[in-house]
Structure 1
Amino acid sequence: MSSRVSDGPPLIDRVRLRSNQWRKLRSIVLNLATTDSLYGKKIREWELKVSRLNRIEDFIAQVPFTTKADIQADRAANPPFGTNLTRAIHQYTRFCQTSGTSTGEPMAWVDTPESWEAMLKCWQRVFEAAGLVKGRDRIFFAFSFGPFLGFWTAYEAAAKDFLVIPAGGLSSQARLEAMARYGATVLCCTPTYALRLGELIGESSGVERMSLRINKIIVAGEAGGSVPEVRKRLEQLWDARVFDHHGMTEVGPVSYEAEDMPSCLIVIEEAYLAEIVDPKTGVEVPDGECGELILTTLDRTACPLLRYRTGDWVKKKMHRGRLVLDGGILSRLDDMVVVRGVNVYPSAIEAVVREFPEVIEFMVEQRKVDAMDEIELLVEMDGNVAKPLLKRIETKLRDTFSLRIPVRLAEPDSLPRHEFKAKRWRIVAAA
């Protein structure tokens, strides 16, 4: 499905934007400095002269990064919510927690009504940028609705302007039937699950494409939403336009994709001070270079984060006064593996795999061989597949990475199916 490309979002006054960011940020730092919160203590430890902070550049130069380990240590010492709270606990009305995919230990987060509302406004930007029309579009949420923040903020923001259809607890078959029955026009889920649902359309489900009115898919939770091969496959399956989005439970909804800028994420800078830095030096990278995304919350002030290291690897692009993540979230820094001197990211592997529509599901196995990391790709295919196809995948991997990555055929239905964040990379103990 083709996408119209133009100049993208309207030009904005960046000087005015930075002035508004600084006004919010200065108020947050001044408030934190008078508290016994996590940051109140850190400000005193840093011997930070708050009164001498006169601009954003001063803040960046004098305030150290916050890491996930910092937050976890504060939670361990002050369970269960830690001390990075700016209100009395009885004023907090919302609870969510991280998925724990990177650490194995989910972290709980609480919000006041005001901070929650600030995040809903960010999600409304996502829907607006996707061109959704009030009174016309019906949004289908194919989520299980656990304690993950993204589910609830997206749903509640949508409910302000659109008919929303929750589908937690339904099977994939039942979800497709419900989409057709209730005339859903927009699907919200992870890229992985959108692929899974799309592959069921037709004979396997009894729900034909012509009975579905889905014309837009908003995806999040994985890097695949901005991977061209994944988008192409989704748009072929659904005959719908894909819109990517990204956020984190720790900070909230961060970016959106505009109709005229496919595979690019525009940071909501009114709500976040964003930096893209070299992870080794901590210095801002130039336009067109890759680095780690650093975020400071400006509107979610009930549980603030200052210069938070997200671990997201992105490519910086300044466009019409806005900060754009070119290609979306390219990878997680901690997901990268070095194989014989070559940096390999999961999203890059998926980009190759999705060029072969015969692949239903896949898994990468990583193991140590003679003290070096090696990887092997397992693929589950649709129907009877000849060995030449496996060789074609191996050849494509070798051409892409300049590495020999073995490809092995998995037994039918042996690889896990995912409705939320897919886990397609596993460590295998050495024999």
Structure 2
Amino acid sequence: MTVLSSQRKNVQLSDHQLYRLNQLLVFVSQYNGFYQQKFQDIQLPIRSAEQLSILPLTTKQDLVDDQKNHGPFGKNHSYPTVDYVRYHQTSGTSGKPLKVLDTKESWEWWEECWLEVFRSSGVTKEDHVFLAFSFGPFIGFWGAFEAAKKKGSLVITGGSQSTKERLTCMIENEATVLLCTPSYALHLAEVAEELGIDLTQTGIRKIITAGEPGGSVPSIRTQIETLWGATLYDHVGMTEMGAYGYSCSEQNGIHVNESQFIAEVINSETLEPVAVGEKGELVLTNLGRYGYPLIRYRTGDIVVHSNEVCACGNPYSFFPGGVIGRADNMVVIRGINIYPSSIESIVREFPEIKEFRVVYYSQAEMDQVKVQIEAKSEITPILATRLRERIGLRIDVENVEADTLPRFTMKAKRVLDERDQA
């Protein structure tokens, strides 16, 4: 791709986004009570990407308060309830779950976003797609289920099955693509080892992960790919926002689907854009979900702002390393900013560690952090040294008995905060 053609595409994309954004803004100013109030002093149309900043940011708390004050679904649903066909709710890992409804049109938009994920990972009509997912009200892989059907792939659901049953089902039915969280891909491999199953000899050749950071972390990706003998692709999305990003053949970060989303990266404290190469909070606007629009939404996802073009040739915005953490998960220990995902990326360099947990606690009125691991004791000093060298902080490593730490089928909760109990 030449620089000129890349620039031309960026201009076309920017014009496309601006046109669709103004269409959305006109719509919400007439039909969406939440944004009518939020944008009442804004003069439309928005004439350039630089003017986007005149629109106020939307936060998770804004949406929670909206549903609390205008229950049960809040005023951000643009249509009467009778026009909606799907109900979802957020996982609630960072607060009260949000209720999110989709119209038929908005749900079809979800499918199109997931089709882009499948296209980037090379999933075809010939694939047998296995979804290791509970199929509850959490959005999870519901959109993937619909998109795989639309693509014509054979869809195999493992909703109510145990881990052992899921392994048997995907093997007997010759599944070629597995969709699950990174944590569950590792847990499936752990159970397979106990059952004497060599996953590299199964039909699984592609794994698409979502739900938590990990799929774009080299150490985690390498461990999963080695255990399964498959290629891992990452995906990022949110119940309230949509399926906004995916990895590609280069496997070194996340592309934002800019045909359907506008992406910004800001400093979480100053709310100003960060410089190229700096970490910041991802802010997104969905352009096709009129039933539940979100405009300049603070996702809480931390990414590295980059202007590089991925070697795969995709001109969309690219975040190297994918989502590297959550703004609400960061803690400061003795002056060092710590994300649990940074610790996990180091722990996963040791395939001997079956499971782990990060524990925050207080000692002598100072915040401390330690890592509990299920592994042989000789790993302990090696991991402790590597954590100190990489994180820049002494982190104690504690061995625990095998099979004593919790396992997870969906979003993992590997952080235990005991500081309030001290």
TM class by shorter-chain length? Answer: over 0.9
Aligned residue number for residue 365 of structure 1: 359
Structure 2 Cα separation of the partners of residues 34 and 421 of structure 1? 37
* 1:349-384 Cα distance to aligned partner (Å, 9 max, x none): 111111111111111111123433211111112xxx
Aligned residue number for residue 3 of structure 1: none
Match of 2:302, as an amino acid?
A: W
2:189 pairs with 1:183:
no
Aligned residues of 1:76 and 1:82 also touching (Cα < 8 A)? yes
2:292 pairs with 1:303:
yes
Structure 1 Cα separation of the partners of residues 127 and 92 of structure 2? 33
Match of 1:343, as an amino acid?
A: N
2:336 pairs with 1:336:
no
Aligned residue number for residue 257 of structure 2: 268
Indicate which of 152, 157, 171 corresponds to 1:166: 157
Aligned residue number for residue 384 of structure 2: 394
Aligned residue number for residue 23 of structure 2: 27
2:401 pairs with 1:411:
yes
* 1:100-154 Cα distance to aligned partner (Å, 9 max, x none): 1111x111100101011011101000001001122x2111101111111132111
* 1:46-67 Cα distance to aligned partner (Å, 9 max, x none): x11225x323322x23111111
Aligned residues of 1:177 and 1:207 also touching (Cα < 8 A)? no
What SS does structure 2 have at the residue aligned with 1:69? helix
Structure 2 Cα separation of the partners of residues 354 and 174 of structure 1? 26
2:212 pairs with 1:219:
no
Aligned residue number for residue 64 of structure 1: 56
What SS does structure 2 have at the residue aligned with 1:293? strand
Indicate which of 172, 176, 199 corresponds to 1:209: 199
Q: Does the C-alpha gap of structure 1 residues 376 and 30 become closer, same or farther in structure 2, counting only changes over 3 Å?
A: same
Match of 1:30, as an amino acid?
A: V
Q: Which one is further off, 276-285 or 206-215?
A: 206-215
Aligned residues of 1:221 and 1:246 also touching (Cα < 8 A)? yes
Aligned residues of 1:316 and 1:323 also touching (Cα < 8 A)? no
2:47 pairs with 1:54:
yes
Aligned residue number for residue 18 of structure 1: 14
Match of 2:334, as an amino acid?
A: R
What SS does structure 1 have at the residue aligned with 2:179? strand
* 1:74-103 Cα distance to aligned partner (Å, 9 max, x none): 100000110012222210111001001111
Matched-pair identity in %: 41
Q: Which one is further off, 193-202 or 109-118?
A: 193-202
| Residue correspondences, number | 412
Structure 1 Cα separation of the partners of residues 17 and 68 of structure 2? 32
Q: Does the C-alpha gap of structure 1 residues 333 and 210 become closer, same or farther in structure 2, counting only changes over 3 Å?
A: closer
What SS does structure 2 have at the residue aligned with 1:22? helix
Q: Structure 1 stretches (4+) deviating beyond 4 angstroms?
A: none
Structure 1 Cα separation of the partners of residues 53 and 343 of structure 2? 37
Q: Does the C-alpha gap of structure 1 residues 305 and 389 become closer, same or farther in structure 2, counting only changes over 3 Å?
A: same
Aligned residues of 1:272 and 1:298 also touching (Cα < 8 A)? yes
Indicate which of 262, 271, 291 corresponds to 2:280: 291
2:74 pairs with 1:82:
yes
Aligned residue number for residue 231 of structure 2: 241
Match of 1:373, as an amino acid?
A: D
Aligned residues of 1:33 and 1:50 also touching (Cα < 8 A)? no
Question: Mind listing any 5+ residue stretches in structure 1 that lack a counterpart?
Answer: 1-5
Indicate which of 92, 113, 121 corresponds to 2:112: 121
Structure 1 Cα separation of the partners of residues 198 and 28 of structure 2? 56
Indicate which of 167, 177, 185 corresponds to 1:194: 185
Structure 1 Cα separation of the partners of residues 161 and 70 of structure 2? 38
Indicate which of 349, 353, 377 corresponds to 1:355: 349
* 1:199-235 Cα distance to aligned partner (Å, 9 max, x none): 2334x22433354110110000110111111011001
Structure 2 Cα separation of the partners of residues 213 and 225 of structure 1? 20
Match of 2:266, as an amino acid?
A: V
Note the aligned Cα RMSD (angstroms). Answer: 1.7
Structure 2 Cα separation of the partners of residues 88 and 405 of structure 1? 53
Structure 2 Cα separation of the partners of residues 16 and 43 of structure 1? 27
2:139 pairs with 1:146:
no
* 1:158-203 Cα distance to aligned partner (Å, 9 max, x none): 111210100011111111111111110010000000011122334x
2:317 pairs with 1:323:
yes
Measure how far apart 1:430 and its partner are. Answer: 4.2
Specify which structure has the bigger relative contact order, considering alpha-carbon pairs within 8 angstroms and separated by 6 or more residues. 1
